[in-house]
């Protein structure tokens, strides 16, 4: 049970204007349009441990201090450091270093046409869960799924009218038969490779988080996932850019309790 002091502190946070935003974005192609849009500057004196590839871009947009974190390129292979491990690490390190008021995990995702998703649709995730952590032991099974709620933003949803759905996260771009069964059990409209990991760390450290995802590929469609993803990545990143701008415009000057 929370003490009266804890409740009071929580009320102060909820009713304090949002100032510092942490944007977690997995891929350079997704990040750079926003870096350019908001004229963010790369942090050359890194707040992160020496040797890691993680990159922070920062700047001010209206009344918001924006910190965009991209996990960078894998040091050995030179590709984007996608997936749950990098996402969890950069989220933890960024919260510790930057003390954000709100986290936005933005990025692309696969969508399910059976749940009404189409290419370039923008979703606000209502909750996140994993679909590839299968532990068939009582209670451990629930831990593996790792279901967590996104921060509730009824006014933002009413104002911007994005599609709202559940997000399922796993470390593979494709979808195995076992993954498909878990995704169905999660009732997911979209799937990604980072969201539930970000949600885990945000919940652990008690920082509110929302998830803005733009659909690059239709998982239950006719085209191969990898081909459709690469074909649509640049165009869908532009749709993501527009959506994040709208979200930041709405957040500006508001408290968490007003979202």
Residues in the chain: 259
Residue 217: active-site member: yes
Residue 180: active-site member: no
User: First CA to last CA across the chain, in angstroms?
Assistant: 25
CA distance 102 to 167: 19
Q: Which residue, 251, 257, 228, 250, is CA-closest to 108?
A: 228
Q: Where are the beta strands (DSSP E) in the chain?
A: 20-24, 41-42, 55-61, 64-70, 102-111, 122-130, 148-149, 163-169, 188-192, 209-218
Place of tokens 């997000």: 167
From 30, 101, 127, 132, active-site residue: 30
From 132, 217, 228, 241, active-site residue: 217
Please name the residue ranges forming H helices in 63-176: 84-98, 140-145, 154-160
The alpha carbon torsion through 171, 173, 176, 180 (nearest 10 deg) reads 90
Known catalytic residues are: 30, 217
């Amino acid at each position: 049970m929370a003490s009266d002091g804890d409740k009071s502190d929580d009320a102060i946070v909820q009713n304090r204007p949002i100032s510092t935003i942490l944007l977690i974005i997995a891929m350079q192609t997704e990040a750079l349009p926003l870096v350019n849009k908001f004229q963010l500057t790369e942090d050359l004196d890194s707040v992160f441990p020496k040797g890691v590839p993680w990159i922070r871009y920062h700047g001010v947009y209206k009344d918001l201090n924006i910190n965009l974190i991209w996990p960078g390129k894998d040091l050995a292979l030179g590709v984007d450091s996608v997936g749950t491990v990098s996402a969890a690490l950069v989220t933890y390190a960024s919260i510790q270093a930057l003390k954000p008021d709100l986290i936005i995990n933005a990025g692309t995702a696969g969508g399910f046409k059976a749940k009404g998703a189409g290419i370039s649709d923008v979703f606000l995730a209502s909750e996140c869960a994993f679909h590839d952590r299968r532990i068939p032991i009582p209670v451990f099974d629930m831990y593996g799924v790792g279901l967590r709620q996104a921060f509730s933003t009824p006014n933002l949803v009413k104002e911007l009218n994005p599609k709202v759905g559940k997000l399922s996260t796993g470390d593979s771009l494709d979808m195995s038969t076992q993954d498909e069964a878990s995704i169905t059990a999660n009732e997911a409209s979209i799937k990604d490779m980072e969201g539930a990991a970000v949600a885990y760390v945000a919940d652990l450290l008690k920082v509110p988080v929302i998830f803005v995802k733009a659909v690059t590929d239709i998982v239950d469609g006719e085209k191969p996932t990898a081909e459709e993803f690469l074909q649509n990545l640049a165009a869908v990143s532009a749709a993501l850019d527009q959506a994040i701008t709208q979200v930041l415009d709405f957040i500006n000057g508001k408290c968490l309790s007003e979202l």
